[in-house]
Amino acid sequence: MQPPPIEKPHTRDQRLLASAMALGKSVVEARKDFATFFELVGWSPENTAVQVQNFQRGWLHHLNSYRRVLLLAPRGHGKSEFVTLRVLWELGRDPNLRVKIVCQSDDRAKRVLTSLKKHITSNRLLRLVFPGLKRDPNGAWTDTKIDLLRPGVPRDPSIHALGVLSTVVGGRSDLLWFDDPMDYRMIILQPKTGKAAVAKTFAEWMPTLVPTGRVWVTMTPWGESDLAGVLRTRKGWALCENAVGTDADPFVPLWPARFSREYLMELRESEGA
Average pLDDT, the chain: 90
Give me the half-sphere count of Cα atoms (radius 13 Å) on the Cβ side of residue 196: 11
Long-range contacts of residues 72-75, Cβ cutoff 8 Å, at least 24 apart: 72/218, 72/219, 72/220, 72/221, 72/228, 72/239, 72/240, 72/241, 72/242, 73/218, 73/220, 73/241, 73/242, 73/243, 73/254, 74/220, 74/242, 74/243, 74/244, 74/254, 75/220
What pLDDT shows up at residue 114? 97
HEC-encoded secondary structure of 132-160:
CCCECCCCCECCCEECECCCCCCCCCCEE
Look up residue 208 and give its DSSP letter: G
pLDDT for res 49: 78
Q: Vertex 173, ends 105 and 71: CA angle to 5°? A: 60
pLDDT in tens, 25-45: 999 999 999 999 999 999 876
Distinct helix (H) and strand (E) counts, the chain = 10, 7
CB neighbour burial string for 206-223, b if at least 16 within 10 angstroms, e if fewer: eebbeeebbbbbbbbbbe
pLDDT at residue 92 in the model: 97
Per-residue model confidence (pLDDT) at position 169: 74
pLDDT of residue 152: 78
pLDDT band at 5 (very low <50, low <70, confident <90, very high): low
CA 99/CA 91 separation, integer angstroms:
9
pLDDT of the residue at 13: 62
Q: Is 8 exposed, middle or buried (0-12, 13-18, 19+ CB in 10 A)?
A: exposed
What pTM does this model have? 0.88
Contact 228, 219 (CB under 8 A): yes
Three-state DSSP at 2 gives coil
Q: How far is the C-alpha of 125 from the C-alpha of 42, rounded, in Å?
A: 9
Residue 182: pLDDT band with limits 50, 70, 90: very high
pLDDT at residue 102 in the model:
98
Q: For strands 159-163 and 145-146, give the pairing.
A: antiparallel
pLDDT, residue 265, reads 85
- Residue pLDDT, tens place only, 120-153: 999 999 999 999 999 999 999 999 999 999 987 7
Residue 258: DSSP 8-state: T
Q: How confident is the model at residue 260 (pLDDT cuts 50, 70, 90)?
A: confident
Name the residue among 110, 207, 205 with its Cα closest to residue 164.
205
DSSP annotation of 207 reads G
Within 10 angstroms of residue 199's Cβ, the number of other Cβ atoms is: 11
pLDDT at 215 over 90: yes
CA distances from 136 to 98, 101, 133, 153, 225 (A): 14, 19, 9, 11, 41
3-state secondary structure of 56: helix
pLDDT digits (tens, 9 = 90+) for 44-98: 766 777 899 999 999 999 999 999 999 999 888 889 999 999 999 999 999 999 9
Give residue 272's pLDDT band: very low, low, confident or very high (50, 70, 90): low
Interatomic CA distance for residues 101 and 124, integer angstroms: 24
Q: How far apart are CA 236 and CA 234, in angstroms?
A: 7
Q: Are 231 and 217 in contact (CB under 8 A)?
A: yes
